[in-house]
Each structure stands twice: as structure tokens, then as C-alpha cells.
């Protein structure tokens, strides 16, 4: 037999030879180890499989993602506003005050760069990266191992998930792939929550009343959550109903005492919280209320036939004229304080039924003054939502002294809110949810019940 015939014969023999027999039994591995990464991923998938209220998603998703990736810090950034702002709305590992206050632009920092490029970015030592953006209040240098993965939606990025570890634990390729997969349910959850992306894509005006649900982003000032009817404060009517002088003096005297007591209470809270420097403006109101000459001038005008409104208006005008003549900054500020005080006294002495707030309401306003605080106090509001930026020390100080959940920078508040609306104010993350869903209301009540219930012994 030739050599070629021998090789062909060997090849045929190899093809026809029986394959190795499979083992009689096969071993299966059940990956059910408690506390393992697989266990954490399955728990996360069970969580995101159900529709969740936005606050629950923002609270729980970062915790569960941190467990899946075995990270010390997990942050959830949402793309908001004009589509160029990234705001940290969910987090585990950093102080709660970071939520709603840590902000980046697309392209800024490693997080913004990942969103701009639409690809994950990992850095073993983030502080050494050219795009690193430091937030000193977070002390991020404790967790320099950094991984940012964009949250991708139908029309592009919706935000970013960021996880961080200590220096000796860099993220692997497997970590990157896993986190990228975990962002998909977040994308669906955000779309179901009808976040501001809906408004950005369809900037139409509100139609109807009391039915449209919308989520408005904001900046949290005083943490907490509240549910209530939406209400706006009004200024007192210029022409109060006429009353006899004796009754008018009694009404104004009672108003002075009410306002005096309220200012003293605010001052006492400021001293108890060591905020005397930020709340020094309260002393101006205390001095005016203690000025017996001011009260006598108002009472004298009423005795001479003036209404409460006219008497208080004259006091405000006198203060304004005196300030204008001097041009002194202190006097100008004092004149404005006098106007606020007189408006509050008038509203309390001669209540305007059109401006009465419903009890336990969420007050929506452009800004906050001592007038707003004094007038709203009687209705015991459960929350404040301001459209103005809350960096002014006086606004922030007043909100902190009131002590109920408060947010500022509420985007489009008066455009989307109307009579009959209720709102869920989430000052833990920085949202005003107008006409929340039943699931969101249920989640709020469940969380409130948990917070109010006594700790189990």
C-alpha cells in the first residue's frame, strides 16, 4: 500500500472511530450562596422588575448596585434642564446633603465625559485624571477607584451611574460589563417615572387642571418629604373693609402681639441652632416691634379716622422716604423690612379671605420673606417650594428656621401647577411631583409611617 493510501486509510479510520462516551452522571452547580455577587444581582433584578416610585428607585437602586459591584460608593446622576446638566439624585456612601446639590455639566469631570462620549470610563486613580472634578465636601479622595457608565435611553443619555472603591480595588472589565447591564432597568424606571425629559422633549403648556402629572427638579434645602395641596401666598388687599376705630385698634394691637410672638419664636430657634449671624436680620424686626412710638403713630391715625390699611401704609411710606433721603444702605434695607412687617400686620389684623392658605399645604412661591413666614405660620404648611435660587442667606436661614421640607430652583413651577393640584415634595432628592401617582403616594405614606413608628426594642 502506498503512503498516500495509508494516510487516507488513517483519516477514514479516525472519522469512523467512536467518540468518547459521556460520563454516566453530570455535576450541576447551584449558585445560591447568600451574600455572593450572584445573590446581589438577583436581588437587584427582582427590585427593578417592578414599577417603583421615583423616590424609592433613587433610594434603593444605588444601594443594590453597590452590592452587585462590591463598591463603597454608588451615585445616580440624572440628565436634566436643557439636557446639559447632570445632578446627583441618588447615592449611597456620601452624606445625604450631596443629593440634589452635586452638579456637573455634560463633558465636565469623568462622569460628564462618560456621558458626552456615551461609553463607560474607569480610572484606577481618579484624582490623577485630567478630567477629574473634585467636590471637597465629599472627601472623594477616600475612594479614588472610579467607574462611570452612562444610562442610555431611546433618545440618548438619561444620566450616569458612578461607582467608587478604595485605592487597592480597581474595577475590572467584568465589573464594567456588569454595571453597563445593570443600567438598562434604570433607564426604563426613569422613563416610567416621567421625569423632566418629557418636558424637555415636549415643552407644551399645561392643559386642563388637577390631572397632569409632572416631575419638576429642584435643589433641596431642608431634607424630608411632604404631601399636600398646592397653595400660593398673596399680598393683602389695598383697601380693607371699614371698621370703627375702637375695633380697628383692638385688631391691630392683637396683630402686633401675634407678630411679636412669632418673631421671638424665630429668634429663639436661631439661637438654639447657633445661627445668630445668618439670622441677624430678625433683630431689625424685633426692634421695630418694640418701638412704642411706631405703634402710637398707627393708633393715632386710626383714631383720626384712617383705616388699618391706610395707617400701616403711611408708616411704610415714611420709612421709605427717610431711607431715600439718606441713601444709606442700612436704612434702605430697614425700609424694606418695614414694608414686609406692615403687610404682615395688615393681613393678620384684616384677613383677606382670598389669601387664606389651606391647612397643611405645600406653599409655592417665587421667593420667601418674613411676610410669607408670618402669614403662612397659621396654616402650618408642610413644605415650601421656591422658584428662586436659594443661595441668599436670608432665604436659606428662614427655610431652615421653619424646619419643614423645602426646595428651591423649582423649574417651571407656576407653568405646571394649577388650582386643585396636589404635590409630593421630595426634599431628600430634590423634586416636586405634581399630581403624584397612587404608587408614589403609597410609597410616601409607607415611608412616613416607618419614620414615625417607634424603633423596635
pLDDT tens readout for residues 344-372? 898 888 777 666 788 899 999 988 988 88
pLDDT at residue 198 above 50?
Answer: no
- What pLDDT score was predicted for residue 199? 43
Q: What is the pLDDT of residue 200?
A: 42
pLDDT at 194 over 70: no
Domains 207-233+357-452 and 245-354 share a fold: no
The x, y and z cell numbers of residue 316, run together, are 411704610
Is 60 within 8 Å of 50 (Cβ atoms)?
Answer: no
| C-alpha span between 426 and 25 (Å, rounded) | 57
- Residue 81, exposed/middle/buried by CB under 10 A (0-12, 13-18, 19+)? middle
Model confidence at 108, pLDDT cuts 50, 70, 90, reads: very high
| Span 316-343, average pLDDT | 86
pLDDT for the residue 204: 45
Whether 241 has a pLDDT exceeding 90, the answer reads: no
Q: Work out the average pLDDT over 76-100.
A: 92
Chain centre distance of CA 286: 33
- Which pLDDT band, with edges at 50, 70 and 90, does 243 fall under? low
4 has pLDDT over 80:
no
Determine the average pLDDT of the residues in 8-35: 64
pTM: 0.81
The pLDDT score that the predictor gives to residue 196 is 42
207-233+357-452 fold:
Glucose Oxidase; domain 1 (3.50.30)
> Mean pLDDT throughout 397-409?
93
- Count other Cβ atoms within 10 Å, centred on residue 60: 16
Q: Which residues pair with 152 in a beta bridge?
A: 157
pLDDT band for 102, please (50, 70, 90 cuts).
Answer: very high
Q: Distances from the Cα of 418 to the Cαs of 141, 229, 234, 430, in angstroms?
A: 46, 10, 15, 20
Structure confidence at residue 453 (pLDDT): 75
Range with the lowest mean pLDDT among 94-103, 163-172, 202-211, 263-272? 202-211
Burial-class residue 380 by CB neighbours within 10 Å (0-12, 13-18, 19+).
exposed
Out of 204-208, 395-399, 413-417, 430-434, pick the least confident.
Answer: 204-208
The residue that leads in pLDDT, 382 or 189, is 382
Q: What is the pLDDT of residues 113-155, one digit of tens each?
A: 999 999 999 999 999 999 999 999 999 999 999 999 999 988 7
pLDDT band at 388 (very low <50, low <70, confident <90, very high): confident
Beta pairing partners, 135: none
User: What does the alpha-carbon distance between residue 96 and residue 1 come to, in Å, rounded to a whole number?
Assistant: 86
Dump pLDDT digits (tens) for 278-321. 788 888 899 999 999 989 999 999 999 888 989 999 999 988 88
For the residues 260-277, what does the mean pLDDT come to? 81
Q: What is the pLDDT at residue 218? A: 92
Nearest to 76 by CA among 155, 129, 64, 221: 64
Superfamily in which the 37-199 domain is placed by CATH? GAF domain (3.30.450.40)
How far apart, in whole angstroms, are the C-alpha atoms of residue 452 and residue 454? 6
How would you write the chain as a 3-class SS string? CCHHHHHHHHHHHHHHCCCCCCCCCCCCCCCCCCCCHHHHHHHHHHHHCCCCCHHHHHHHHHHHHHHHHCCCEEEEEEEECCCCEEEEEEEECCCHHHCCCCEEECCCHHHHHHHHHCCCEEECCHHHCCCCCCCHHHCHHHCCEEEEEEEEECCEEEEEEEEEECCCCCCCHHHHHHHHHHHHHHHHHHHHCCCCHHHHHCCCCCCCCCCCCEEEECEEEECCEEEEEEECCCCCCCCCCCCCHHHHHHHHHHHHHHHHHHHHHHHHHHHHCCCCCCCCCHHHHHHHHHCHHHHHHHHHHHHCCCCHHHHHHHHHHHHHHHHHHHCCHHHHHHHHHHHHHHHHHHHHHCCCHHHCCCCCCEEEECCCCHHHHHHHHHHCCCEEEECCCCCCHHHHHHHHHHCCCEEECCCCHHHHCCCCCEEEEECCCCEEEECCCHHHHHHHHHHHHHHHCCCCC
Tell me: pLDDT of 205 over 80.
no
CA dist 58 and 455 (Å) reads 24
- From the list 51, 91, 49, 98, the residue with the least C-alpha distance to 73 is 91
Closest CA to 366 of 399, 341, 342, 389: 389
Average pLDDT, the chain: 84
Strand 225-231 to 362-365 pairing: parallel
User: Residue 232 — pLDDT band, cuts 50, 70, 90?
Assistant: confident
233 vs 310, 352, 374, 385, 414, CA distance in Å? Answer: 22, 11, 11, 12, 13
Residue bearing the bigger pLDDT, 430 or 209: 430
> What CA–CA distance (Å, rounded) separates 337 from 271?
21
CA dist., res. 234 & res. 6, Å (int): 105
- CB–CB of 114/121 below 8 Å? yes
- What's residue 81's pLDDT? 75
Domain boundaries along the sequence of the chain: 37-199, 207-233+357-452, 245-354
What is Dmax (Cα atoms) for the chain? Answer: 140
**Tens of pLDDT, residues 415-431:** 888 878 999 999 999 99
The CATH T-level fold of domain 245-354 is Enzyme I; Chain A, domain 2 (1.10.274)
User: CA-CA distance, 116 to 106, in Å (whole number)?
Assistant: 6
More confident residue, 69 or 49: 69
Which residue did the predictor score with more confidence, 290 or 202? 290
Higher pLDDT, 21 or 382: 382
123-125-130 Cα angle (round to 5): 75
| pLDDT score of 6 more than 80 | no
Amino acid at each position: 500500500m502506498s503512503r498516500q493510501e495509508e494516510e487516507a486509510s488513517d483519516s477514514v479510520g479516525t472519522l469512523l472511530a467512536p467518540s468518547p462516551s459521556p460520563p454516566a452522571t453530570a455535576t450541576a452547580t447551584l449558585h445560591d450562596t447568600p451574600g455572593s455577587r450572584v445573590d446581589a444581582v438577583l436581588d437587584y433584578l427582582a427590585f427593578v422588575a417592578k414599577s417603583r416610585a421615583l423616590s424609592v428607585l433613587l433610594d434603593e437602586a444605588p444601594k443594590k448596585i453597590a452590592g452587585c459591584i462590591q463598591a463603597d460608593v454608588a451615585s445616580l446622576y440624572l440628565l436634566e434642564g436643557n439636557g446639559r446638566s447632570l445632578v446627583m439624585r441618588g447615592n449611597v456612601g456620601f452624606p445625604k446633603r450631596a443629593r440634589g446639590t452635586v452638579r456637573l455639566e455634560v463633558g465636565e469631570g469623568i462622569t460628564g465625559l462618560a456621558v458626552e462620549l456615551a461609553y463607560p470610563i474607569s480610572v484606577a486613580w481618579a484624582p490623577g485624571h485630567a478630567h477629574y472634578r473634585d467636590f471637597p465636601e465629599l472627601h472623594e479622595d477616600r475612594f479614588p477607584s472610579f467607574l462611570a457608565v452612562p444610562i442610555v435611553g431611546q433618545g440618548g443619555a438619561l444620566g450616569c451611574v458612578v461607582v467608587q472603591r478604595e485605592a487597592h480595588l480597581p474595577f475590572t472589565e467584568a465589573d464594567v460589563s456588569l454595571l453597563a447591564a445593570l443600567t438598562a432597568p434604570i433607564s426604563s424606571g426613569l422613563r416610567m417615572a416621567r421625569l423632566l425629559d418629557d418636558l424637555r422633549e415636549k415643552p407644551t403648556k399645561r392643559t386642563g387642571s388637577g390631572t397632569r402629572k409632572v416631575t419638576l427638579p429642584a435643589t433641596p434645602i431642608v431634607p424630608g418629604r411632604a404631601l399636600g395641596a398646592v397653595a400660593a401666598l398673596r399680598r393683602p388687599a389695598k383697601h380693607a373693609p371699614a371698621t370703627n376705630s375702637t375695633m380697628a385698634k383692638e385688631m391691630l394691637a392683637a396683630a402686633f402681639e401675634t407678630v411679636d410672638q412669632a418673631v421671638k419664636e424665630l429668634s429663639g430657634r436661631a439661637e438654639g441652632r447657633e445661627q445668630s449671624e445668618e439670622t441677624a436680620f430678625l433683630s431689625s424686626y424685633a426692634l421695630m416691634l418694640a418701638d412704642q412710638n411706631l405703634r402710637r403713630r398707627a393708633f393715632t391715625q386710626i383714631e383720626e379716622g384712617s383705616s388699618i390699611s391706610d395707617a400701616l401704609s403711611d408708616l411704610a411710606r415714611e420709612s421709605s422716604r427717610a431711607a431715600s433721603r439718606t441713601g444709606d444702605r442700612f436704612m434702605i434695607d430697614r425700609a424694606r423690612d418695614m414694608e414686609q412687617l406692615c403687610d404682615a400686620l395688615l393681613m393678620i389684623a384684616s384677613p383677606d379671605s382670598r389669601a387664606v392658605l389651606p391647612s397643611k399645604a405645600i406653599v409655592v412661591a417665587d421667593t420667601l420673606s418674613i411676610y410669607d413666614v408670618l402669614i403662612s405660620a397659621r396654616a402650618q404648611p408642610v413644605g415650601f417650594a421656591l422658584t428662586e435660587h436659594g443661595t441668599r442667606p436670608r432665604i436659606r436661614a428662614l427655610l431652615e428656621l421653619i424646619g419643614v421640607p423645602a426646595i428651591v430652583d423649582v423649574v417651571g413651577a407656576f407653568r405646571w401647577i394649577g388650582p386643585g393640584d396636589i404635590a409630593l415634595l421630595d426634599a431628600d432628592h430634590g423634586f416636586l411631583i405634581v399630581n403624584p401617582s397612587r404608587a408614589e403616594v403609597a410609597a410616601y405614606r409607607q415611608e412616613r409611617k416607618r419614620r414615625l413608628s417607634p424603633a423596635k426594642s
